[in-house]
Structure formats: C-alpha cells, structure tokens
Amino acid sequence: MKIQTQSKKVNKAWLNDHVNDPWVKLAQKEGYRARAAYKLKEIDEALGLIRSGQVVVDLGSTPGAWSQYVRRRLAPAGALQGAIVAVDILPMEPIEGVTFLHGDFREEAVLAQLKEALAGRPVDVVVSDMAPNLSGVSSADAARIAHLVELAVDFAVHHLRPQGALVAKVFHGGAYDELVRLFRASFRQVKTFKPKASRDRSAETFLVGISPKPTSDTV
C-alpha cells in the first residue's frame, strides 16, 4: 500500500506541474497537441532549418506536435508547400497534408514504406523525437535509446540533401558521448540544444547534425 500511495503522490505532483506548465498552456492556446512543439520551434528558429517547399520526415511523430509545427512552417500562406511524412509505432490522429505511416521504424517493412512515400525525393530535414519504452534498467535503456538514434542517423545520411539536417532527441548519461561521436562522424556540423520548453529535471537534450558526410566517411 505504501508503494501505491507514493505512486499516487508522484502522479498527482506530475499532473499538477503539467496543468500549470506555461508551455502546456501555450500549446493549448495555439492549437498544438503537445508542448514538444516549442522544443522544435526553438531549434528551428535558432538554425533556420525548416522552410517552405521542403521535404521533411518526422520519426516518432505521435501525438503530432512536431508534424503540426512543420506543417505550419511549410504553409506560411495557408497552402502546403512541400511534403511531410510521419512515422510512429503508435497511432496518430490525422493532420492535413501529413502522410502518416503507422509502424515500427526499426522494421525493414516500415522503412520500405517510408522510402516508397518519399518516391525518390531527397529529404531536407529529418526530425526524430523517438524514445523507447524504458525498463528502468539504465544499461538496457541506454542501449535502446542509442539504437533508435543510430537508426535515425543512418536513415538521414542516406536520404538527406547535401545541406540537409537531422534533429534527434538524446538523453544525457548512458550512451550520450558515443552518440555525440556518431553525429560528429556523420555530419559536417553538430550542435546541441536544451530548449527552454524541455523541463530542467529532464535528461533529454537534442543533437542537430547539418550537412551529412558522404557515407564512406562515416563510421
């Protein structure tokens, strides 16, 4: 019973923080499905990554806040100029103009569907908010997180334009240093971001790789 009571207290504290979170309130006001939209917004505004006419791939898209933000960036005058392909293992409510693929990005069949949806078009920006279900075993969780980021990097370096960019969520601890090295080996420019909309106590941060190196140069 003590464990259940403690859990209830934690859940109540989280709910209270969530309800009073200014980013949550702003997301509700501006019609975003989650506060995560402002994480991508801050990164994009700092680096100017997403522009009208581009092809953007959103990995780990559900509930859709990042796709919503990209959709607005690609439609400054209302009509969509460009293309967005989103992928997630969880279902996602439709977003006008966004092609959604429901499946596990780790599976070859889903990757094949993504390539088919791109129809040979090079990608301008890949954004990845993918995160695995955590087990609580730090070594195992670090390996799961690293694997998803590695898959995103591999997809990006093979499908991005020469000046394209990858934005990926990572976590401090575990395999963080290894993932930074992977980004530096895979992209000509690498930047790290801890957006204001990311909670201070969260271990998440974001790596941005710009201009993928030729695949023969990667390790």
- Would you please indicate which residues are annotated as catalytic (active-site) residues? 169
How many residues are given for the chain? 219
Omega before residue 94 within 30° of 0, cis: no
Start-to-end C-alpha separation, the chain: 51
Give the residue from 147, 123, 108 showing the smallest Cα distance to 58: 123
Instruction: Write the CB contacts of 138 (distance below 8 Å, at least 6 apart in sequence).
Output: 173, 174
| Residue at 206: amino acid letter | F
Task: Please tell me the distance from the alpha carbon of residue 121 to that of residue 193, in angstroms, as a whole number.
Answer: 28
Give dist(CA 75, CA 5) in Å, integer. Answer: 48
- Maximum alpha-carbon separation in the chain: 57
Q: Residue 15: exposed, middle, or buried by beta-carbon count in 10 A (0-12, 13-18, 19+)? A: exposed
